[in-house]
């Protein structure tokens, strides 16, 4: 197992190098002068020259890329152009907000998606199967930014029961330890803050969960249908085992493998989908940070944030592969 | 997702050309009939047909000029005069949605066209030639897939500059890996078949074998992927426009309309309601039809 992990980590190196090369090259795709593009038309020649010097744009490409890699290796993701802030610390500050949202959305998606998929499979062609699969089809076709806006209109404007934006109502105190607000409020026993943070999380969480929920439900259903036809399931049923035991212990355990792959892939996509969701709900996470940087043409932020998200994506997928072993002991890593 | 051609009695190469063509046509007709039998894919086809008709006859269907502004008529709720209401500049929302169909079709075709052409080429070459060429191409594809697609699209548009054209290019580029992987898989299974060996034995060149024999037999998964990708492409491009990175005002692109209407969410919710429904319906149509196509063209999935 350890050997396998080491080999997989070694295989990550070329992928991560490629990822860094692409993110680095982005800035060189800017038509015309990148410095002019970042500072705008009104910038003086002197300002432009200063920025070029600062960003090392005057050096050959390979030298620039080498320096970029060197800085990353030291955990230095550069400074933003407009506010001159350290990007790494900005990202560290905003990452918990995005992770909290993504994890919450994923938990929602897995619980509802897997349950719906299992029930739809054991009651194939029932009204529940039809309803949930139609729902899943709608889910993958819905523009989540539109869904988010409609939820704000319904629950914040019309009924006024959920807050439309942010993570916490102004005035609600919370000592942050991890910057995961739900976790912090539990750790400090602050239930007022917990309720408030939860009500803020609900709408963006549901919006973000829609697509993965739909995909997980469809995957679980088809995977369960396949497993339920196997001989050992018939044997288990013939032995007179309780239906619940057969479904969840015998069938789901084996049907879960392809579902797990989808969960891993979707988690990475959630980080991308967060840009839209965070923008709509003014959620102070990495997605909104990227969006604002794109609007302000602050390319170093765009580069670094995308690099960090891609690395997380790759690591999550590796983690999913490793989790396989625990779910399916038949898999041997040699 | 390898596609296995239907078993034939005699080797295809021994049939007369016209008989071969007939067999091929029969397979497509069969598939089409199978699609029509499924209720859901028929609904999908209906939505797509409606979309095409609307785009084609937009000037006849629209009740107003989609660009005509009228400040006195701004933020009118749906009524007899404006069936879906008006926006912040008093433009008729129904007419804008009708004209927006043209942009959506354009996005779907161009973006997916880019993914398809490059993806099929890369996947075909990787699968057919194998060895180091395969290694190099597939590692590049792996790297592209290390980015969440919408994020890579946002980054590309951010550097290329926000416009509908660049949004289509970006959405097209991020769709390449899926086509490349599907085609590579299909080519790997097709190239081992006897008729490819036969073609090689009579001295056909690689380019001819790939273009005339291998790729046509990988068409089914490519068509399925293309159909499903059109829905995704329209959705992603609408997302980019919503963020202000795609189509620019005053374009009646649906994502851009949503972006314009956001400011009036509290007072005029109809401005964002209907363009969103339009996006949803079109994407649903392509997803339904794509699912139906997959079931019809891949006999292994038949229940």
Length in residues, chain B: 303
Length in residues, chain A: 334
Residues A209 and A290 in one domain: yes
Residues A57 and A101 in one domain: no
Q: What is the pLDDT of residues A119-140, one digit of tens each?
A: 999 888 889 998 998 899 899 9
Is pLDDT at A9 greater than 90 in this prediction? no
CATH annotation of B108-303: 1.10.3720.10
Complex ipTM over 0.85: yes
Residues A232 and A278 in one domain: yes
User: B-chain residues within 8 Å CB-CB of A285?
Assistant: none
- pLDDT at residue B275 in the model: 93
Residue A178 lies in a domain: yes
Is pLDDT at B9 greater than 80 in this prediction? no
| Residue contact B245–A30, C-beta within 8 A | no
Residues A44 and A177 in one domain: no
Residue A118 lies in a domain: yes
The count of other CB atoms within 10 Å of the CB of residue A151 is 19
**B93-129 helix and B39-56 helix, angle to the nearest 10 degrees:** 120
Dist CA B285 CA B45 (whole Å): 7
Residues A158 and A94 in one domain: yes
* A62 and B CB contact within 8 Å: no
The HSE-up count of residue A245 (CA atoms within 13 Å, CB side) is: 9
Strand (E) positions, chain A?
A: none
Q: What is the mean pLDDT of the segment spanning B274-295?
A: 91
Q: What token pair was written down for A215? A: 């995909």
Highest mean pLDDT out of A167-171, B29-33, B48-52: B48-52
Residue ranges of alpha helices (H) inside A43-86 are 45-55, 61-73
Find the CB nearest B150 among A19, A273, A294.
A273
**Between A331 and B142, whose confidence is greater?**
B142
Residue A326 Cα distances to A9, A144, A247, A251, angstroms? 19, 34, 19, 16
Determine the residue of chain B that is closest to A303 in CA distance.
B155
Find the CB nearest B243 among A150, A279, A310.
A279
- The dihedral through the CA atoms of A190, A196, A199, A204 has a sign that is negative
CB contact set of B118 (below 8 Å; sequence gap of 6+): B172, B173, B176, B179, B180
Residue A286 lies in a domain: yes
Residue A82 lies in a domain: no
Residue A78 lies in a domain: no
Look at chain A and report how many structural domains it folds into.
2
Choose the mutation target among B155, B177, B245, B246 for the interface with A, i.e. most A CBs under 10 Å.
Answer: B155
| Residue contact A272–B151, C-beta within 8 A | yes
Residues A92 and A68 in one domain: no
Last residue of a domain, one of A26, A43, A73: A73
CATH number at residue A96: 1.10.3720.10
Give the pTM: 0.87
CB contact set of B257 (below 8 Å; sequence gap of 6+): B87, B93, B96, B97, B100, B271, B272, B275
Q: What is the mean pLDDT of the segment spanning A150-160?
A: 93
Instruction: Please list, residue by residue across A175-201, b when 16 or more beta carbons sit within 10 angstroms of its beta carbon and e when fewer do.
Output: eeeebbbbbbbeeeebeebbebbeebb
Is residue A101 within 8 Å of residue A278, measured between CB atoms?
A: yes
Q: What is the pLDDT of residues A161-220, one digit of tens each?
A: 999 988 888 888 888 888 898 888 888 888 888 999 999 999 999 999 999 999 999 999
Choose the mutation target among A28, A141, A311 for the interface with B, i.e. most B CBs under 10 Å.
Answer: A141
- pLDDT at residue A203 in the model: 95
Is pLDDT at B280 greater than 80 in this prediction? yes
Determine the residue of chain B that is closest to A222 in CA distance.
B301
Determine the residue of chain B that is closest to A275 in CA distance.
B151
* B152 and A CB contact within 8 Å: yes
Residues A49 and A128 in one domain: no
* B243 and A CB contact within 8 Å: yes
CA distance A294 to chain B (A): 6
| Residue contact B243–A291, C-beta within 8 A | yes
Find the CB nearest A18 among B143, B243, B283.
B143
* A183 and B CB contact within 8 Å: no
* B235 and A CB contact within 8 Å: yes
Find the CB nearest B139 among A14, A152, A276.
A14
| Residue contact A294–B287, C-beta within 8 A | no
* B148 and A CB contact within 8 Å: yes
Is pLDDT at B302 greater than 50 in this prediction? no
Choose the mutation target among A33, A146, A316 for the interface with B, i.e. most B CBs under 10 Å.
Answer: A146
User: B-chain residues within 8 Å CB-CB of A27?
Assistant: 159
| Residue contact A310–B242, C-beta within 8 A | no
Residue A199 lies in a domain: yes
- pLDDT at residue B234 in the model: 94
Kindly report which listed range (B9-13, B14-18, B173-177) carries the lowest average pLDDT score. B9-13
Q: What is the pLDDT of residues B105-140, one digit of tens each?
A: 999 999 999 999 999 999 999 988 888 999 999 989
Is pLDDT at B70 greater than 90 in this prediction? no
**Between B189 and B119, whose confidence is greater?**
B119
| Residue contact B272–A14, C-beta within 8 A | no
Residues A296 and A147 in one domain: yes
Closest CA to A305 of B82, B158, B112: B158
The HSE-up count of residue A191 (CA atoms within 13 Å, CB side) is: 0
Is pLDDT at B291 greater than 60 in this prediction? yes
- pLDDT at residue A76 in the model: 85
Residues A260 and A229 in one domain: yes
- pLDDT at residue B24 in the model: 64
Residues A61 and A96 in one domain: no
Please give the share of chain A, as a percent, with pLDDT higher than 70. Answer: 98
Is pLDDT at A258 greater than 60 in this prediction? yes
List the domain range (segments joined by +) for residue A204: 87-327
Determine the residue of chain B that is closest to A268 in CA distance.
B148
Residues A158 and A225 in one domain: yes
- pLDDT at residue B15 in the model: 55
- pLDDT at residue B122 in the model: 94
Is pLDDT at B8 greater than 50 in this prediction? no
Last residue of a domain, one of A10, A39, A73: A73
Is pLDDT at A318 greater than 60 in this prediction? yes
* A80 and B CB contact within 8 Å: no
pLDDT band for position B278 (50/70/90)? very high
Average pLDDT, chain A: 86
- pLDDT at residue B303 in the model: 39
- pLDDT at residue B82 in the model: 85
Q: What is the pLDDT of residues B221-253, one digit of tens each?
A: 888 889 999 999 999 999 999 999 998 888 899
Is pLDDT at B17 greater than 70 in this prediction? no
Is pLDDT at B18 greater than 70 in this prediction? no
Residues A157 and A134 in one domain: yes
The HSE-up count of residue A259 (CA atoms within 13 Å, CB side) is: 32
Residue A314 lies in a domain: yes
């Amino acid at each position: 197992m350890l050997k396998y992990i080491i080999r997989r980590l070694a295989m990550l190196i070329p992928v991560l190098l490629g990822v860094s090369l692409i993110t680095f090259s982005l800035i060189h795709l800017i038509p015309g002068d990148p410095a002019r593009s970042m500072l705008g038309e009104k910038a003086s020649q002197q300002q432009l020259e200063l920025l070029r010097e600062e960003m090392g744009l005057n050096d050959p490409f390979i030298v620039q890329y080498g320096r970029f890699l060197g800085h990353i290796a030291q955990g230095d993701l550069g400074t933003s152009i407009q506010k001159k802030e350290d990007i790494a610390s900005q990202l560290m500050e905003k990452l918990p907000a995005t992770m909290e949202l993504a994890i919450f959305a994923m938990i929602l998606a897995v619980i509802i998606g897997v349950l719906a998929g299992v029930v739809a499979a054991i009651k194939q062609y029932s009204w529940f199967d039809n309803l949930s699969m139609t729902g899943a089809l709608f889910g993958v076709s819905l523009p989540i930014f539109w869904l988010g806006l409609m939820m704000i209109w319904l629950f914040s404007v019309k009924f006024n029961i959920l807050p439309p934006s942010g993570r916490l109502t102004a005035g609600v105190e919370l000592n942050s330890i991890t910057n995961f607000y739900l976790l912090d409020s539990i750790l400090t026993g602050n239930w007022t803050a917990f309720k408030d943070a939860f009500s803020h999380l609900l709408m963006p969480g549901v919006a973000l969960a829609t697509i993965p929920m739909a995909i997980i439900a469809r995957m679980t259903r088809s995977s369960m249908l396949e497993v339920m036809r196997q001989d050992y399931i018939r044997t288990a049923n013939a032995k007179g085992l309780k239906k619940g035991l057969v479904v969840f212990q015998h069938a789901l355990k084996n049907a879960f493998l392809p579902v797990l792959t989808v969960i891993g892939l979707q988690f990475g996509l959630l980080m991308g989908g967060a840009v839209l969701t965070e923008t709509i709900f003014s959620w102070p996470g990495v997605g909104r940070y990227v969006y604002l940087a794109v609007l302000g043409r602050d390319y170093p932020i765009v580069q670094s944030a995308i690099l960090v998200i891609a690395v997380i994506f790759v690591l999550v997928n590796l983690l999913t592969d490793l989790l396989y072993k625990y779910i399916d002991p038949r898999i041997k890593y040699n | 997702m390898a596609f296995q051609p239907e078993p034939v009695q005699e080797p295809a190469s021994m049939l007369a050309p016209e008989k071969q063509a007939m067999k091929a046509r029969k397979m497509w007709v069969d598939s089409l009939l199978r699609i029509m039998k499924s209720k859901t894919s028929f609904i999908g086809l209906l939505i797509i047909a409606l979309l095409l008709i609307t785009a084609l006859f937009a000037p006849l269907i629209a009740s107003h000029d989609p660009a005509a502004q009228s400040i006195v008529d701004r933020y009118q709720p749906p009524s007899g005069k404006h069936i879906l209401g008006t926006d912040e500049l008093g433009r008729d929302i129904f007419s804008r949605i009708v004209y927006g169909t043209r942009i959506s079709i354009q996005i779907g075709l161009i973006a997916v066209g880019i993914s398809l052409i490059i993806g099929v080429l890369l996947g075909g070459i990787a699968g057919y030639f194998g060895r180091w060429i395969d290694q190099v191409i597939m590692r590049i594809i792996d790297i592209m897939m290390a980015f969440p697609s919408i994020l890579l699209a946002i980054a590309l548009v951010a550097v290329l500059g926000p416009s509908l054209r660049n949004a289509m290019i970006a959405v097209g580029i991020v769709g390449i890996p899926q086509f490349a992987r599907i085609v590579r898989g299909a080519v790997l299974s097709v190239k081992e078949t006897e008729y490819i060996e036969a073609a090689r034995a009579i001295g056909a060149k690689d380019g001819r074998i790939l273009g005339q024999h291998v790729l046509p037999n990988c068409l089914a998964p490519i068509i399925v992927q293309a159909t499903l990708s059109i829905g995704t492409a329209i959705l992603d491009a609408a997302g980019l426009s919503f963020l202000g990175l795609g189509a620019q005002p005053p374009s009646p692109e649906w994502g851009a309309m949503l972006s314009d209407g956001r400011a009036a969410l509290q007072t005029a919710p109809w401005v964002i309601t209907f363009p969103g429904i339009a996006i949803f319906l079109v994407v649903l149509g392509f997803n339904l039809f794509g699912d139906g196509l997959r079931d019809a063209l891949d006999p292994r999935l038949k229940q």
